[in-house]
């Protein structure tokens, strides 16, 4: 064995140990996880739950206690690995099976010596009586079941050519004819009891306990059973063809479903691109609404600011004039300045201040503008989605209806095939009950069409007519 082969075997053994359930000691089947992290087959978990005490059981690996739950998390990765490992093992066994079974399937014929030829090892002498050699074995090519002898090519010729041996049954060489003999009467099996389902000899039909049973020759029994097997074979072929058609139909439906899903993805992707464009436009409109209203209020605010600045400068000028007079210390100059400027600055500071209007953005107008843009966007989205639904839903409905009709047809065919299979459960019972059914049908037909039955029907019809007449008179 090469090192690489030994390494692969070791790796396979390690993998099998990792994929073995600790409870059933077999490769995992539908493994599920416990809260502690260990995996077990689902059926093994059910067994553990049935043996649990007080609705709690221990993990066989770490002995941690868990509550009995109705659902456990399936270990999908471990399940896929275990199924793939089991499938590979089955493929390897099937690939090796023909090689292992080749000697059995292509086994050589049984080496049976000819009964007419001299025995093996007998010496042959010449005319002078001196030994010339030893006779080699002569193998038989046929066995006569009637003569109960095996013959070589030379000795089988009379059976093949003479009319007297025409009814003799020749088979392949048989080494032991005792299997074909009745142990009680030491005669060859020639008949078959349909009731007891055993091979019997000629004496068994007379002396044995098969009196009154349905008995046929082995040849006729084989012929009848083969005919029944041919019928079953035709039915199996019919079911195989139906299964093949169903498989092809399901594969076609799978392809159609795949194309449908791909088309859905493409349509949804295209819809997403269109809606992205409309969404960008909608967001731009939302930004433009406040800006447009803000632009309308901007000039008014600027005018108000200019008016307020004018008032401020006028008041600053009046303040400066008053402050200058306040700082004057010469009475004469103060009075002269006050007389000439008091009226001027009094007029300036006594003028009313400008009251600006509230030039803010109108919230109601902004809300109405945003709602209008929102309604436009939602209307576009609804129209696009409705168009997508109209494109997808009719396709789904047609495929579902066709699939349901095909499934109903297949179920009807399966029911018919099932009823046919129930009628041919056992070929032997059919052959025995056929004559009984015919007799029952004849008897039932005689009863249905008997004169007494017709007279009874006429009497019943007359009584019904009289009852009808009485009811009319009473009315």
Rounded CA separation 2/6 (Å): 6
Mean predicted confidence (pLDDT) in 32-43: 89
Mean predicted confidence (pLDDT) in 423-444: 51
For the chain, give the percent of residues with pLDDT over 90. Answer: 15
Per-residue pLDDT of 139-164, as tens digits, reads 889 988 888 888 998 899 888 888 87
Overall residue count recorded for the chain in this entry: 475
Tell me which of 81 and 405 has the higher pLDDT: 81
Which of 233-247, 377-391, 415-429, 446-460 has the highest average model confidence (pLDDT)? 233-247
pLDDT of the residue at 296: 67
pLDDT of the residue at 262: 92
Mean predicted confidence (pLDDT) in 32-56: 84
Is the model's pLDDT at 68 over the cut of 60?
Answer: yes
pLDDT of the residue at 359: 64
pTM attached to this predicted model: 0.39
- Indicate if 83 and 173 belong to the same structural domain: no
Is the model's pLDDT at 230 over the cut of 50?
Answer: yes
Domain boundary among 375, 398, 420: 420
In a domain, 344, yes or no: yes
- Indicate if 245 and 181 belong to the same structural domain: no
pLDDT of the residue at 224: 92
DSSP 393-425: HHHHHHHHHHHHHHHHHHHHHHHHHHHHHHHTS
Q: If we measure between CA atoms, which residue out of 260, 246, 258, 262 comes closest to residue 403?
A: 246
Number of domains in the chain: 3
Q: Which of 165-174, 206-215, 377-386 has the lowest mean pLDDT?
A: 206-215
**Parent domain of 276:** 239-420
- How many Cα atoms occupy the beta-carbon half-sphere of 6 within 13 Å? 3
**CATH at residue 198:** 3.30.160.60
- Indicate if 257 and 139 belong to the same structural domain: no
In a domain, 26, yes or no: yes
Q: Which residues contact 242 (CB under 8 A, 6 or more apart)?
A: 410, 413, 414, 417
In a domain, 447, yes or no: no
In a domain, 326, yes or no: yes
Is the model's pLDDT at 119 over the cut of 60?
Answer: yes
Quote the strand ranges of 84-144, DSSP E: 123-125, 131-134, 142-144
Mean predicted confidence (pLDDT) in 199-221: 83
**CATH at residue 60:** 3.30.40.10
Is the model's pLDDT at 172 over the cut of 90?
Answer: no
| Number of DSSP helices (H) and strands (E) in the chain, helices first | 10, 13
Rounded CA separation 236/14 (Å): 43
Domain boundary among 95, 121, 139: 95
> 171: which strand partners?
143
- Indicate if 36 and 140 belong to the same structural domain: no
In a domain, 360, yes or no: yes
In a domain, 232, yes or no: no
In a domain, 462, yes or no: no
Q: If we measure between CA atoms, which residue out of 380, 103, 410 comes closest to residue 241?
A: 410
- Indicate if 376 and 289 belong to the same structural domain: yes
In a domain, 410, yes or no: yes
Domain boundary among 169, 190, 220: 220
- Neighbour-count burial for 276-302, b at 16+ CB within 10 Å, e otherwise: eeeeeebeebeeebeeebeeeeeeeee
Per-residue pLDDT of 238-273, as tens digits, reads 999 999 999 999 999 999 999 999 988 999 999 999
């Amino acid at each position: 064995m090469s090192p690489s082969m030994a390494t692969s075997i070791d790796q396979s053994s390690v993998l099998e140990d990792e994929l073995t359930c600790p409870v059933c000691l077999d490769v995992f089947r539908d493994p599920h996880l416990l809260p502690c992290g260990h995996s077990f087959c689902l059926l093994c978990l059910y067994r553990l739950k049935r043996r649990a005490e007080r609705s709690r059981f221990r993990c066989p690996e770490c002995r941690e206690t868990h509550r009995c739950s109705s659902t456990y998390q399936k270990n999908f990765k471990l399940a896929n690995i275990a199924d793939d490992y089991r499938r590979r093992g089955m493929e390897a066994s099937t690939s090796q099976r023909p090689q292992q079974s080749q000697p059995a399937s292509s086994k050589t014929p049984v080496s049976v010596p000819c009964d007419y030829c001299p025995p093996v090892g007998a010496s042959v002498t010449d005319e002078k009586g001196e030994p010339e050699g030893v006779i080699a074995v002569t193998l038989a090519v046929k066995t006569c079941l009637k003569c109960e002898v095996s013959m070589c090519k030379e000795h089988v010729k009379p059976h093949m050519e003479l009319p007297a041996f025409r009814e003799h049954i020749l088979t392949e060489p048989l080494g032991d004819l005792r299997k074909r003999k009745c142990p009680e009467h030491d005669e060859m099996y020639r008949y078959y009891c349909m009731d007891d389902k055993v091979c019997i000899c000629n004496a068994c039909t007379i002396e044995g306990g098969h009196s009154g049973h349905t008995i046929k020759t082995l040849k006729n029994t084989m012929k009848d059973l083969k005919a029944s097997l041919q019928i079953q074979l035709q039915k199996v072929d019919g079911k195989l063809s139906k299964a093949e058609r169903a498989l092809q139909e399901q594969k076609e439906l799978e392809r159609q479903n795949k194309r449908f899903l791909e088309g859905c993805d493409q349509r949804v992707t295209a819809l997403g691109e269109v809606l992205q464009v409309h969404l960008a436009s909608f967001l731009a409109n939302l930004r433009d609404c406040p800006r447009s209203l803000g632009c309308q209020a901007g000039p008014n605010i600027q005018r108000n600011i200019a008016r307020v600045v004018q008032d401020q400068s006028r008041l600053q000028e009046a303040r400066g004039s008053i402050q200058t007079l306040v700082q004057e210390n010469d009475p004469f100059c103060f009075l002269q300045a006050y007389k000439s400027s008091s009226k001027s600055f009094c007029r300036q500071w006594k003028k009313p201040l400008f009251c600006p209007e509230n030039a803010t953005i109108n919230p109601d107008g902004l809300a109405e503008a945003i709602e209008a843009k929102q309604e436009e966007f939602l209307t576009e989205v609804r129209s696009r989605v409705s168009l997508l639904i109209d494109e997808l839903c009719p396709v789904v409905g047609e495929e579902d209806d066709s699939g349901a009709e095909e499934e109903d047809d297949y179920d009807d065919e399966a029911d018919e095939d099932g009823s046919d299979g129930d009628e041919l459960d056992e070929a032997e019972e059919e052959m025995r009950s056929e004559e009984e059914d015919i007799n029952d049908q004849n008897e039932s037909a005689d009863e249905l069409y008997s004169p007494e039955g017709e007279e009874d029907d006429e009497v019943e019809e007359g009584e019904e007519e009289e009852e009808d007449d009485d009811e009319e008179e009473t009315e």
